[in-house]
A and B are shown apart, each in its own frame.
Chain A
Amino acid sequence: EPEVTQTPSHQVTQMGQEVILRCVPISNHLYFYWYRQILGQKVEFLVSFYNNEISEKSEIFDDQFSVERPDGSNFTLKIRSTKLEDSAMYFCASRRSGGTGELFFGEGSRLTVL
């Protein structure tokens, strides 16, 4: 069964460092998303991406964040200068066009900022 894959599974970084989280969505999906979950809190929407551009973003997704689809398969989330409060589990998700709306999530990338 096709699945969304994410790398790395866990990254530890120093505050102020740049981090890139990578995702390979399901191959015939056209809508891509990043969510995050801070420990003990709800899953929060960050950004959605369709047709090579951001279609929607939350207040969390400020200038420190960017997304890119550098080739036909990868979808990346970059945090330019990490802060302690960026420590969270980051989930990538994808959805096929014309689907009933359910998102398929990857297993997540845990980011720890020290």
Chain B
Amino acid sequence: DQQVKQNSPSLSVQEGRISILNCDYTNSMFDYFLWYKKYPAEGPTFLISISSIKDKNEDGRFTVFLNKSAKHLSLHIVPSQPGDSAVYFCAASPNSGYALNFGKGTSLLVTP
């Protein structure tokens, strides 16, 4: 039961350009969304989150946009850097205290 979907398994972007990672969800009860970044042989690292009362949250080069009516969120990285190359997971839960449902991840490669 794939409640959180990341339909692009991989994305390649040039250094300095914008990276846009997309995520869709099916459960209308989800109201808390997070993005995690994962390097090989490491655990996921929290990147940024957004609750359903907002449609945008920004932290430095990272911005998450939420479109509740479309059940869609996206992560924008501007400007992209080679160190951003990693797998990015979208996650969602009914509220901030419940277990997270993860997408399958999108592997981002930022080329010099």
Q: Which residues of A contact B (CB under 8 A)?
A: 4, 31, 33, 35, 41-45, 48, 56, 58, 91, 93, 99-108
Contact = CB atoms under 8 A, between A and B. Distances in A.
A42 B104 contact: yes
Contact of B43 (A4, A31, A44, A102): A4
A102 B102 contact: no
Nearest to A31: B97
Nearest to A105: B43
Interface residues of B, number: 25
B93 A101 contact: yes
A102 B101 contact: no
Interface of B is mostly: loop
Given A101-B97, A102-B49, A42 B44 contact: no
Interface in B88-106: 89, 91, 93, 95-105
A58 B89 CA distance: 19
Contacts of B93: 101
Determine which residue in B43, B91, B100 has the highest number of CB atoms from chain A within 10 A of its CB, and name it: B43
Contacts of A35: 102
Contacts of B27: none
B34 interface: yes
B45 interface: yes
A48 B46 CA distance: 18
Contact of A101 (B43, B49, B102): B49
Given A42-B104, A48-B99, A91 B49 contact: no
24 contacts: A4-B43, A41-B104, A42-B2, A42-B102, A42-B103, A43-B44, A43-B102, A45-B102, A56-B98, A58-B99, A91-B44, A93-B43, A100-B96, A101-B34, A101-B49, A101-B93, A104-B46, A105-B36, A105-B43, A105-B44, A105-B45, A107-B41, A107-B42, A108-B42
